[in-house]
Chains A and B, each alone.
Chain A
Protein backbone atom coordinates (compact mmCIF):
# COMPACT_ATOMS: atom_id res chain seq x y z
CA UNK A 1 0.00 0.00 0.00
CA UNK A 2 1.17 3.49 -0.75
CA UNK A 3 1.36 5.45 2.46
CA UNK A 4 2.62 8.70 1.01
CA UNK A 5 2.15 9.92 -2.52
CA UNK A 6 3.07 13.24 -4.07
CA UNK A 7 1.81 13.98 -7.54
CA UNK A 8 3.47 16.94 -9.26
CA UNK A 9 3.34 18.71 -5.95
CA UNK A 10 4.21 22.36 -6.36
CA UNK A 11 4.47 25.16 -3.84
CA UNK A 12 5.33 28.77 -4.44
CA UNK A 13 5.51 31.32 -1.64
CA UNK A 14 4.34 34.28 -3.65
CA UNK A 15 7.00 34.27 -6.35
CA UNK A 16 9.58 32.44 -4.27
CA UNK A 17 10.08 28.80 -5.14
CA UNK A 18 9.25 26.20 -2.56
CA UNK A 19 9.11 22.97 -4.51
CA UNK A 20 8.25 22.30 -8.17
CA UNK A 21 6.60 19.22 -9.68
CA UNK A 22 7.65 16.89 -6.91
CA UNK A 23 6.42 13.33 -7.47
CA UNK A 24 7.30 10.28 -5.44
CA UNK A 25 5.69 7.66 -3.27
CA UNK A 26 6.53 5.78 -0.11
CA UNK A 27 5.23 2.27 0.53
CA UNK A 28 4.00 0.88 3.79
CA UNK A 29 6.78 -0.18 6.15
CA UNK A 30 9.53 1.68 4.31
CA UNK A 31 12.06 4.05 5.76
CA UNK A 32 12.31 6.63 3.03
CA UNK A 33 15.24 9.02 3.07
CA UNK A 34 14.77 12.53 1.77
CA UNK A 35 18.09 14.20 1.12
CA UNK A 36 19.00 17.65 0.03
CA UNK A 37 20.98 20.68 1.14
CA UNK A 38 19.43 23.48 3.17
CA UNK A 39 16.77 25.36 1.25
CA UNK A 40 16.17 22.55 -1.23
CA UNK A 41 12.53 22.19 -0.14
CA UNK A 42 12.63 19.30 2.34
CA UNK A 43 10.70 21.08 5.09
CA UNK A 44 8.29 22.58 2.56
CA UNK A 45 7.43 19.08 1.34
CA UNK A 46 6.81 17.81 4.87
CA UNK A 47 4.73 20.85 5.80
CA UNK A 48 2.57 20.29 2.74
CA UNK A 49 1.89 16.73 3.88
CA UNK A 50 0.96 18.01 7.33
CA UNK A 51 -1.25 20.71 5.74
CA UNK A 52 0.47 23.47 7.65
CA UNK A 53 0.72 25.03 4.21
CA UNK A 54 -1.33 24.31 1.11
CA UNK A 55 -0.05 23.32 -2.32
CA UNK A 56 -0.07 25.77 -5.21
CA UNK A 57 -0.82 22.82 -7.48
CA UNK A 58 -0.51 19.06 -7.55
CA UNK A 59 -1.60 16.58 -4.96
CA UNK A 60 -0.40 15.21 -1.66
CA UNK A 61 -2.05 12.09 -0.30
CA UNK A 62 -1.47 10.00 2.81
CA UNK A 63 -3.05 6.54 3.19
CA UNK A 64 -4.68 7.31 -0.13
CA UNK A 65 -6.53 10.35 1.18
CA UNK A 66 -6.02 13.99 0.33
CA UNK A 67 -3.91 15.85 2.90
CA UNK A 68 -5.83 19.10 2.60
CA UNK A 69 -9.33 17.65 2.85
CA UNK A 70 -8.69 14.99 5.47
CA UNK A 71 -5.80 16.63 7.33
CA UNK A 72 -7.12 16.45 10.90
CA UNK A 73 -8.29 12.85 10.54
CA UNK A 74 -5.01 11.76 8.94
CA UNK A 75 -2.96 13.41 11.66
CA UNK A 76 -4.39 10.94 14.20
CA UNK A 77 -1.95 8.47 12.69
CA UNK A 78 0.96 10.80 11.97
CA UNK A 79 3.88 11.65 14.21
CA UNK A 80 5.99 14.68 13.38
CA UNK A 81 9.37 15.73 14.65
CA UNK A 82 10.28 19.16 13.28
CA UNK A 83 13.88 20.23 12.79
CA UNK A 84 13.51 22.86 15.46
CA UNK A 85 11.06 22.18 18.26
CA UNK A 86 9.06 24.94 19.92
CA UNK A 87 6.62 24.30 22.73
CA UNK A 88 4.69 26.41 25.20
CA UNK A 89 7.57 27.68 27.28
CA UNK A 90 5.69 28.01 30.53
CA UNK A 91 4.48 24.44 30.64
CA UNK A 92 6.06 21.51 32.39
CA UNK A 93 7.24 18.70 30.16
CA UNK A 94 4.74 16.22 31.57
CA UNK A 95 1.84 18.68 31.18
CA UNK A 96 2.80 19.37 27.61
CA UNK A 97 3.02 15.67 26.79
CA UNK A 98 -0.33 14.99 28.45
CA UNK A 99 -1.83 17.91 26.55
CA UNK A 100 -0.52 16.47 23.32
CA UNK A 101 -1.77 12.99 24.25
CA UNK A 102 -5.26 14.33 24.95
CA UNK A 103 -5.80 14.91 21.23
CA UNK A 104 -5.46 11.26 20.27
CA UNK A 105 -8.26 8.76 20.55
CA UNK A 106 -6.15 6.10 22.22
CA UNK A 107 -4.69 6.12 25.72
CA UNK A 108 -1.05 7.14 25.40
CA UNK A 109 -0.05 7.27 29.07
CA UNK A 110 1.97 4.07 29.20
CA UNK A 111 3.82 4.69 25.96
CA UNK A 112 4.52 8.25 27.07
CA UNK A 113 6.34 7.08 30.18
CA UNK A 114 8.19 4.31 28.36
CA UNK A 115 9.51 6.78 25.82
CA UNK A 116 10.43 9.38 28.41
CA UNK A 117 12.38 6.78 30.32
CA UNK A 118 14.12 5.52 27.22
CA UNK A 119 15.13 9.04 26.17
CA UNK A 120 16.09 9.92 29.75
CA UNK A 121 13.74 12.87 29.79
CA UNK A 122 13.05 14.77 33.00
CA UNK A 123 9.31 15.20 33.09
CA UNK A 124 8.96 17.78 35.82
CA UNK A 125 11.04 20.56 34.33
CA UNK A 126 9.64 23.56 32.57
CA UNK A 127 10.12 23.72 28.81
CA UNK A 128 11.81 27.12 29.08
CA UNK A 129 14.53 25.64 31.33
CA UNK A 130 15.47 22.91 28.86
CA UNK A 131 18.53 22.92 26.63
CA UNK A 132 18.12 22.57 22.88
CA UNK A 133 18.93 18.87 23.01
CA UNK A 134 16.45 18.25 25.80
CA UNK A 135 13.72 20.09 23.91
CA UNK A 136 14.45 17.80 21.00
CA UNK A 137 13.93 14.83 23.32
CA UNK A 138 10.53 16.24 24.28
CA UNK A 139 9.84 16.45 20.56
CA UNK A 140 10.74 12.80 20.05
CA UNK A 141 8.48 11.63 22.88
CA UNK A 142 5.68 13.94 21.73
CA UNK A 143 5.95 12.73 18.14
CA UNK A 144 5.90 9.04 19.06
CA UNK A 145 3.61 8.79 22.07
CA UNK A 146 0.51 7.93 20.07
CA UNK A 147 2.26 5.11 18.21
CA UNK A 148 1.68 6.65 14.80
CA UNK A 149 1.54 4.63 11.61
CA UNK A 150 3.52 7.26 9.77
CA UNK A 151 6.44 9.32 11.01
CA UNK A 152 7.81 12.52 9.53
CA UNK A 153 11.29 13.25 10.79
CA UNK A 154 12.78 16.56 9.68
CA UNK A 155 16.51 16.55 10.40
CA UNK A 156 15.81 14.72 13.61
CA UNK A 157 19.28 14.32 15.06
CA UNK A 158 20.31 17.97 15.22
CA UNK A 159 21.04 18.84 18.82
CA UNK A 160 21.23 15.26 20.10
CA UNK A 161 24.50 13.90 21.46
CA UNK A 162 25.87 10.73 19.80
CA UNK A 163 24.56 8.48 22.55
CA UNK A 164 21.06 9.91 22.22
CA UNK A 165 21.30 9.71 18.45
CA UNK A 166 21.96 6.00 18.74
CA UNK A 167 19.05 5.51 21.11
CA UNK A 168 16.88 7.54 18.78
CA UNK A 169 17.79 5.44 15.75
CA UNK A 170 17.12 2.30 17.72
CA UNK A 171 13.71 3.70 18.63
CA UNK A 172 12.91 4.54 15.01
CA UNK A 173 13.97 1.08 13.90
CA UNK A 174 11.70 -0.48 16.53
CA UNK A 175 8.82 1.71 15.38
CA UNK A 176 9.52 0.61 11.84
CA UNK A 177 9.54 -3.07 12.81
CA UNK A 178 6.24 -2.50 14.55
CA UNK A 179 4.94 -1.45 11.14
CA UNK A 180 5.40 2.31 11.06
CA UNK A 181 6.38 3.94 7.80
CA UNK A 182 9.10 6.55 8.19
CA UNK A 183 9.81 9.63 6.10
CA UNK A 184 13.29 10.71 7.07
CA UNK A 185 14.54 14.06 5.87
CA UNK A 186 18.18 14.91 6.41
CA UNK A 187 21.28 16.43 4.96
CA UNK A 188 23.50 14.07 6.97
CA UNK A 189 24.05 11.23 4.56
CA UNK A 190 25.62 8.79 6.97
CA UNK A 191 22.46 8.46 8.99
CA UNK A 192 20.27 8.18 5.92
CA UNK A 193 22.57 5.48 4.59
CA UNK A 194 22.29 3.60 7.84
CA UNK A 195 18.54 3.85 8.21
CA UNK A 196 16.83 4.01 4.87
CA UNK A 197 15.68 1.57 2.21
CA UNK A 198 15.12 4.12 -0.50
CA UNK A 199 16.06 7.74 -0.94
CA UNK A 200 14.75 10.72 -2.81
CA UNK A 201 17.24 13.43 -3.64
CA UNK A 202 15.92 16.96 -3.88
CA UNK A 203 17.78 19.94 -5.25
CA UNK A 204 16.49 23.47 -5.71
CA UNK A 205 12.92 22.34 -5.22
CA UNK A 206 13.02 19.47 -7.68
CA UNK A 207 13.45 15.74 -7.22
CA UNK A 208 16.51 14.69 -9.17
CA UNK A 209 16.53 11.01 -8.28
CA UNK A 210 14.51 8.46 -6.35
CA UNK A 211 16.39 5.20 -5.94
CA UNK A 212 17.05 2.19 -3.83
CA UNK A 213 19.95 3.01 -1.59
CA UNK A 214 21.99 -0.02 -2.70
CA UNK A 215 21.61 0.57 -6.39
CA UNK A 216 22.54 4.18 -5.80
CA UNK A 217 25.73 3.05 -4.17
CA UNK A 218 26.58 0.19 -6.51
CA UNK A 219 25.36 1.26 -9.87
CA UNK A 220 27.79 3.89 -10.73
CA UNK A 221 30.93 4.54 -8.89
CA UNK A 222 33.88 2.67 -7.40
CA UNK A 223 36.23 4.46 -5.13
CA UNK A 224 39.80 3.45 -5.92
CA UNK A 225 43.05 4.00 -4.00
CA UNK A 226 46.39 2.86 -5.42
CA UNK A 227 49.77 3.05 -3.71
CA UNK A 228 53.09 2.61 -5.50
CA UNK A 229 56.37 4.42 -6.00
CA UNK A 230 56.54 6.63 -9.06
CA UNK A 231 52.95 6.28 -10.24
CA UNK A 232 51.98 8.59 -13.07
CA UNK A 233 48.56 10.11 -12.54
CA UNK A 234 48.14 10.70 -16.26
CA UNK A 235 48.45 6.97 -16.91
CA UNK A 236 45.12 6.41 -15.15
CA UNK A 237 43.33 9.29 -16.78
CA UNK A 238 41.09 6.98 -18.80
CA UNK A 239 37.39 7.37 -19.67
CA UNK A 240 35.24 6.89 -16.56
CA UNK A 241 37.80 8.22 -14.11
CA UNK A 242 36.92 11.35 -12.19
CA UNK A 243 38.27 13.31 -9.25
CA UNK A 244 41.79 12.04 -9.91
CA UNK A 245 44.18 13.04 -7.14
CA UNK A 246 47.82 12.21 -6.68
CA UNK A 247 49.59 12.67 -3.38
CA UNK A 248 52.97 11.24 -2.25
CA UNK A 249 52.77 8.23 -4.50
CA UNK A 250 49.10 7.60 -3.65
CA UNK A 251 46.43 7.86 -6.33
CA UNK A 252 42.77 8.31 -5.50
CA UNK A 253 39.93 8.49 -7.97
CA UNK A 254 36.36 7.47 -8.70
CA UNK A 255 35.67 5.09 -11.52
CA UNK A 256 32.44 4.69 -13.40
CA UNK A 257 32.43 2.12 -16.18
CA UNK A 258 33.48 -1.42 -17.10
CA UNK A 259 35.45 -2.78 -14.14
CA UNK A 260 37.42 -5.13 -16.39
CA UNK A 261 38.98 -2.22 -18.21
CA UNK A 262 40.04 -0.78 -14.88
CA UNK A 263 41.43 -4.07 -13.58
CA UNK A 264 43.39 -4.56 -16.76
CA UNK A 265 44.94 -1.14 -16.35
CA UNK A 266 45.77 -1.75 -12.69
CA UNK A 267 47.32 -5.13 -13.62
CA UNK A 268 49.99 -3.43 -15.69
CA UNK A 269 51.59 -1.59 -12.77
CA UNK A 270 53.36 -2.85 -9.65
CA UNK A 271 51.51 -1.73 -6.55
CA UNK A 272 52.35 -1.75 -2.87
CA UNK A 273 48.71 -1.39 -1.83
CA UNK A 274 45.24 -1.15 -3.33
CA UNK A 275 41.66 -0.65 -2.16
CA UNK A 276 38.55 -0.61 -4.29
CA UNK A 277 35.38 0.19 -2.37
CA UNK A 278 31.81 1.37 -2.63
CA UNK A 279 31.73 5.11 -2.26
CA UNK A 280 29.74 6.48 0.65
CA UNK A 281 26.45 8.11 -0.11
CA UNK A 282 28.11 11.37 0.73
CA UNK A 283 30.54 10.97 -2.12
CA UNK A 284 27.82 10.01 -4.56
CA UNK A 285 25.73 12.85 -3.34
CA UNK A 286 28.40 15.41 -4.06
CA UNK A 287 28.21 14.43 -7.71
CA UNK A 288 24.61 15.52 -7.84
CA UNK A 289 25.46 18.85 -6.43
CA UNK A 290 28.51 19.69 -8.46
Chain B
Protein backbone atom coordinates (compact mmCIF):
# COMPACT_ATOMS: atom_id res chain seq x y z
CA UNK B 1 0.00 0.00 0.00
CA UNK B 2 2.81 2.41 0.91
CA UNK B 3 4.60 1.77 -2.39
CA UNK B 4 1.35 2.32 -4.27
CA UNK B 5 0.67 5.66 -2.56
CA UNK B 6 4.26 6.76 -2.98
CA UNK B 7 4.13 5.97 -6.69
CA UNK B 8 0.87 7.83 -7.15
CA UNK B 9 2.35 10.99 -5.67
CA UNK B 10 5.54 10.57 -7.66
CA UNK B 11 3.58 10.12 -10.92
CA UNK B 12 1.07 12.89 -10.39
CA UNK B 13 3.11 15.53 -12.17
CA UNK B 14 3.48 13.36 -15.25
CA UNK B 15 -0.28 12.73 -15.28
CA UNK B 16 -0.99 16.46 -15.10
CA UNK B 17 1.38 17.18 -17.99
CA UNK B 18 -0.24 14.50 -20.15
CA UNK B 19 -3.66 15.77 -19.08
CA UNK B 20 -2.82 19.26 -20.31
CA UNK B 21 -1.52 17.85 -23.62
CA UNK B 22 -4.73 15.86 -24.18
CA UNK B 23 -6.95 18.80 -23.22
CA UNK B 24 -5.11 21.11 -25.61
CA UNK B 25 -5.31 18.54 -28.37
CA UNK B 26 -9.04 17.97 -27.92
CA UNK B 27 -9.82 21.67 -27.68
CA UNK B 28 -7.80 22.49 -30.81
CA UNK B 29 -9.27 19.48 -32.64
CA UNK B 30 -12.84 20.39 -31.79
CA UNK B 31 -12.30 23.99 -32.82
CA UNK B 32 -11.46 22.61 -36.28
CA UNK B 33 -14.66 20.60 -36.16
CA UNK B 34 -16.69 23.84 -35.96
CA UNK B 35 -15.65 24.39 -39.59
CA UNK B 36 -16.86 20.91 -40.65
CA UNK B 37 -20.06 20.81 -38.65
CA UNK B 38 -23.02 20.37 -40.99
CA UNK B 39 -21.04 21.93 -43.80
CA UNK B 40 -21.92 20.43 -47.22
CA UNK B 41 -18.87 22.04 -48.90
CA UNK B 42 -16.60 20.07 -46.60
CA UNK B 43 -18.31 16.82 -47.64
CA UNK B 44 -17.72 17.70 -51.28
CA UNK B 45 -14.02 18.33 -50.64
CA UNK B 46 -13.62 15.06 -48.80
CA UNK B 47 -15.42 13.14 -51.54
CA UNK B 48 -12.98 14.58 -54.06
CA UNK B 49 -9.91 13.28 -52.20
CA UNK B 50 -8.26 10.00 -53.27
CA UNK B 51 -9.65 7.11 -51.19
CA UNK B 52 -6.16 5.79 -50.34
CA UNK B 53 -5.28 9.06 -48.66
CA UNK B 54 -8.46 8.95 -46.64
CA UNK B 55 -7.68 5.37 -45.67
CA UNK B 56 -4.23 6.30 -44.50
CA UNK B 57 -5.68 8.85 -42.15
CA UNK B 58 -8.56 6.61 -41.20
CA UNK B 59 -11.08 9.10 -42.57
CA UNK B 60 -12.92 6.81 -44.95
CA UNK B 61 -15.39 5.45 -42.51
CA UNK B 62 -16.66 8.66 -41.10
CA UNK B 63 -18.92 11.47 -42.03
CA UNK B 64 -16.84 14.32 -40.69
CA UNK B 65 -19.71 16.73 -40.63
CA UNK B 66 -21.36 14.83 -37.77
CA UNK B 67 -20.18 14.79 -34.19
CA UNK B 68 -19.79 11.00 -34.02
CA UNK B 69 -17.99 10.97 -37.36
CA UNK B 70 -15.53 13.58 -36.22
CA UNK B 71 -14.96 11.85 -32.91
CA UNK B 72 -14.35 8.62 -34.79
CA UNK B 73 -11.61 10.33 -36.75
CA UNK B 74 -10.04 11.75 -33.58
CA UNK B 75 -10.13 8.30 -31.96
CA UNK B 76 -6.92 7.24 -33.73
CA UNK B 77 -5.05 10.19 -32.29
CA UNK B 78 -6.44 9.67 -28.82
CA UNK B 79 -5.40 6.05 -29.07
CA UNK B 80 -1.90 7.06 -30.10
CA UNK B 81 -1.50 9.62 -27.31
CA UNK B 82 -2.94 7.50 -24.56
CA UNK B 83 -0.94 4.48 -25.66
CA UNK B 84 2.30 6.45 -25.70
CA UNK B 85 1.61 7.73 -22.19
CA UNK B 86 0.79 4.21 -21.01
CA UNK B 87 3.89 2.68 -22.60
CA UNK B 88 6.13 5.32 -21.06
CA UNK B 89 4.60 5.00 -17.62
CA UNK B 90 4.80 1.24 -17.79
CA UNK B 91 8.42 1.08 -18.88
CA UNK B 92 9.43 3.79 -16.44
CA UNK B 93 7.65 2.81 -13.26
CA UNK B 94 9.94 -0.10 -12.43
CA UNK B 95 13.13 0.74 -14.29
CA UNK B 96 13.41 4.25 -12.87
CA UNK B 97 14.53 2.78 -9.56
CA UNK B 98 17.57 1.40 -11.32
CA UNK B 99 18.07 4.57 -13.35
CA UNK B 100 17.99 6.73 -10.20
CA UNK B 101 20.03 4.11 -8.33
CA UNK B 102 17.38 3.95 -5.62
CA UNK B 103 17.12 0.13 -5.83
CA UNK B 104 19.67 -0.24 -3.07
CA UNK B 105 17.14 1.51 -0.86
CA UNK B 106 13.76 0.43 -2.14
CA UNK B 107 14.59 -3.23 -2.72
CA UNK B 108 16.49 -3.79 0.48
CA UNK B 109 13.31 -2.95 2.39
CA UNK B 110 11.41 -6.01 3.57
CA UNK B 111 9.19 -6.36 0.49
CA UNK B 112 9.13 -9.14 -2.06
CA UNK B 113 9.89 -7.98 -5.58
CA UNK B 114 6.55 -9.30 -6.77
CA UNK B 115 4.79 -6.89 -4.44
CA UNK B 116 6.86 -4.04 -5.85
CA UNK B 117 5.71 -4.98 -9.36
CA UNK B 118 2.06 -5.20 -8.24
CA UNK B 119 2.03 -1.89 -6.39
CA UNK B 120 3.86 0.01 -9.10
CA UNK B 121 1.75 -1.50 -11.90
CA UNK B 122 -1.44 -0.54 -10.11
CA UNK B 123 -0.17 3.00 -9.56
CA UNK B 124 0.63 3.29 -13.28
CA UNK B 125 -2.80 1.84 -14.07
CA UNK B 126 -4.42 4.55 -11.96
CA UNK B 127 -2.49 7.11 -13.99
CA UNK B 128 -3.84 5.56 -17.19
CA UNK B 129 -7.38 5.65 -15.86
CA UNK B 130 -6.89 9.26 -14.78
CA UNK B 131 -5.77 10.27 -18.25
CA UNK B 132 -8.65 8.34 -19.80
CA UNK B 133 -11.15 10.15 -17.59
CA UNK B 134 -9.59 13.47 -18.53
CA UNK B 135 -9.91 12.54 -22.21
CA UNK B 136 -13.49 11.41 -21.73
CA UNK B 137 -14.47 14.50 -19.76
CA UNK B 138 -12.93 17.00 -22.14
CA UNK B 139 -14.38 15.18 -25.17
CA UNK B 140 -17.90 15.42 -23.75
CA UNK B 141 -17.36 18.99 -22.59
CA UNK B 142 -16.22 20.18 -26.01
CA UNK B 143 -19.10 18.30 -27.69
CA UNK B 144 -21.81 19.96 -25.58
CA UNK B 145 -22.26 23.04 -27.82
CA UNK B 146 -23.32 20.72 -30.68
CA UNK B 147 -26.14 19.16 -28.61
CA UNK B 148 -25.06 15.52 -28.91
CA UNK B 149 -27.72 12.79 -28.80
CA UNK B 150 -27.74 9.67 -26.64
CA UNK B 151 -26.16 7.65 -29.42
CA UNK B 152 -23.09 9.88 -29.34
CA UNK B 153 -22.64 9.33 -25.61
CA UNK B 154 -22.88 5.55 -26.08
CA UNK B 155 -20.38 5.71 -28.94
CA UNK B 156 -17.91 7.77 -26.88
CA UNK B 157 -18.29 5.41 -23.91
CA UNK B 158 -17.56 2.45 -26.18
CA UNK B 159 -14.53 4.24 -27.62
CA UNK B 160 -13.27 4.93 -24.10
CA UNK B 161 -13.57 1.26 -23.25
CA UNK B 162 -11.54 0.45 -26.37
CA UNK B 163 -8.98 3.11 -25.45
CA UNK B 164 -8.72 1.67 -21.97
CA UNK B 165 -7.94 -1.79 -23.30
CA UNK B 166 -5.28 -0.34 -25.60
CA UNK B 167 -3.79 1.62 -22.71
CA UNK B 168 -3.54 -1.50 -20.60
CA UNK B 169 -1.97 -3.45 -23.48
CA UNK B 170 0.81 -0.91 -23.88
CA UNK B 171 1.11 -0.41 -20.14
CA UNK B 172 1.69 -4.11 -19.61
CA UNK B 173 4.14 -4.32 -22.51
CA UNK B 174 6.00 -1.36 -21.01
CA UNK B 175 6.02 -2.97 -17.57
CA UNK B 176 7.29 -6.22 -19.03
CA UNK B 177 10.14 -4.44 -20.82
CA UNK B 178 10.97 -2.41 -17.71
CA UNK B 179 11.10 -5.60 -15.65
CA UNK B 180 12.92 -7.77 -18.13
CA UNK B 181 15.55 -5.48 -19.59
CA UNK B 182 18.55 -5.16 -17.32
CA UNK B 183 19.65 -2.09 -19.23
CA UNK B 184 17.06 0.33 -17.89
CA UNK B 185 17.94 2.89 -20.57
CA UNK B 186 16.56 0.59 -23.21
CA UNK B 187 13.21 -0.05 -21.55
CA UNK B 188 11.34 3.09 -22.55
CA UNK B 189 12.88 3.31 -26.01
CA UNK B 190 12.04 -0.36 -26.58
CA UNK B 191 8.45 0.22 -25.43
CA UNK B 192 8.07 3.21 -27.74
CA UNK B 193 9.63 1.28 -30.63
CA UNK B 194 7.07 -1.49 -30.17
CA UNK B 195 4.33 1.10 -30.08
CA UNK B 196 5.43 2.99 -33.20
CA UNK B 197 6.10 -0.24 -35.10
CA UNK B 198 2.60 -1.52 -34.38
CA UNK B 199 1.15 1.87 -35.30
CA UNK B 200 2.84 1.83 -38.69
CA UNK B 201 1.74 -1.74 -39.20
CA UNK B 202 -1.81 -0.54 -38.60
CA UNK B 203 -1.41 2.12 -41.31
CA UNK B 204 0.12 -0.34 -43.77
CA UNK B 205 -2.62 -2.88 -43.17
CA UNK B 206 -5.36 -0.32 -43.83
CA UNK B 207 -3.75 0.59 -47.15
CA UNK B 208 -3.73 -2.93 -48.47
CA UNK B 209 -6.57 -5.47 -48.23
CA UNK B 210 -4.13 -8.39 -48.63
CA UNK B 211 -2.35 -7.41 -45.46
CA UNK B 212 -5.41 -7.72 -43.26
CA UNK B 213 -3.77 -10.49 -41.19
CA UNK B 214 -1.53 -7.73 -39.84
CA UNK B 215 -4.54 -6.48 -37.93
CA UNK B 216 -3.79 -9.15 -35.37
CA UNK B 217 -0.29 -7.78 -34.88
CA UNK B 218 -1.25 -4.19 -34.20
CA UNK B 219 -3.38 -3.28 -31.16
CA UNK B 220 -4.26 -0.08 -33.02
CA UNK B 221 -6.33 -2.26 -35.33
CA UNK B 222 -8.10 -4.23 -32.63
CA UNK B 223 -10.80 -1.66 -32.14
CA UNK B 224 -11.61 0.35 -35.23
CA UNK B 225 -13.73 3.41 -34.48
CA UNK B 226 -15.66 2.90 -37.75
CA UNK B 227 -16.66 -0.59 -36.67
CA UNK B 228 -17.48 0.63 -33.19
CA UNK B 229 -19.77 3.26 -34.70
CA UNK B 230 -21.54 0.80 -37.00
CA UNK B 231 -21.80 -2.20 -34.67
CA UNK B 232 -21.86 -0.53 -31.25
CA UNK B 233 -19.80 -3.33 -29.70
CA UNK B 234 -16.21 -4.48 -29.26
CA UNK B 235 -14.99 -7.39 -31.35
CA UNK B 236 -14.85 -10.40 -29.01
CA UNK B 237 -11.83 -11.99 -30.71
CA UNK B 238 -9.75 -8.91 -30.22
CA UNK B 239 -10.88 -8.49 -26.62
CA UNK B 240 -9.65 -12.02 -25.93
CA UNK B 241 -6.42 -11.35 -27.83
CA UNK B 242 -5.91 -8.15 -25.81
CA UNK B 243 -6.44 -9.94 -22.51
CA UNK B 244 -3.97 -12.60 -23.62
CA UNK B 245 -1.31 -10.00 -24.44
CA UNK B 246 -1.86 -8.28 -21.09
CA UNK B 247 -1.78 -11.56 -19.19
CA UNK B 248 1.37 -12.81 -20.88
CA UNK B 249 3.16 -9.49 -20.47
CA UNK B 250 2.36 -9.25 -16.78
CA UNK B 251 3.26 -12.88 -16.12
CA UNK B 252 6.53 -12.30 -17.96
CA UNK B 253 7.14 -9.16 -15.92
CA UNK B 254 6.74 -10.99 -12.61
CA UNK B 255 8.91 -13.90 -13.67
CA UNK B 256 11.65 -11.71 -15.12
CA UNK B 257 11.80 -9.23 -12.28
CA UNK B 258 11.86 -11.76 -9.47
CA UNK B 259 14.62 -13.77 -11.11
CA UNK B 260 17.05 -11.27 -12.47
CA UNK B 261 19.91 -9.39 -10.85
CA UNK B 262 19.19 -5.77 -10.21
CA UNK B 263 21.38 -3.36 -12.07
CA UNK B 264 23.29 -1.26 -9.57
Contacts and interface: CB of A to CB of B under 8 A. Distances in A.
A87 B102 contact: yes
A99 B102 CA distance: 14
B111 A52 contact: no
Contacts of A50: 108
B110 A73 contact: yes
B141 interface: no
Given A71-B112, A100-B109, A142-B105, A89 B2 contact: no
Interface residues of B, number: 20
Residue from the set A47, A50, A87, A88 with the largest chain B CB neighbour count within 10 Å: A88
Interface in B76-133: 100-105, 107-112, 115
Given A86-B104, A87-B105, A88-B10, A53 B110 contact: no
B196 interface: no
A89 B100 contact: yes
A50 B264 CA distance: 13
B6 interface: yes
A52 B264 contact: yes
A58 interface: no
Given A86-B100, A90-B10, A99-B6, A52 B261 contact: yes
A72 B108 contact: no
Interface string A81-94: 01011111110000
Nearest to B115: A72
B262 interface: yes
Nearest to A18: B261
A9 B61 CA distance: 65
Pick the most buried of B102, B103, B108, B259: most chain A CB atoms within 10 A of its CB: B108
Nearest to A50: B108
* Residue with the highest number of chain A CB atoms closer than 10 Å, among B103, B105, B111, B112: B105
A103 interface: yes
B10 A103 contact: no
Contacts of A80: 104, 108
Interface of A: 13, 47, 50, 52-54, 71-76, 78, 80, 82, 84-90, 99-100, 102-104, 142
9 contacts: A50-B108, A52-B104, A54-B259, A82-B104, A86-B101, A86-B104, A88-B10, A88-B102, A90-B10
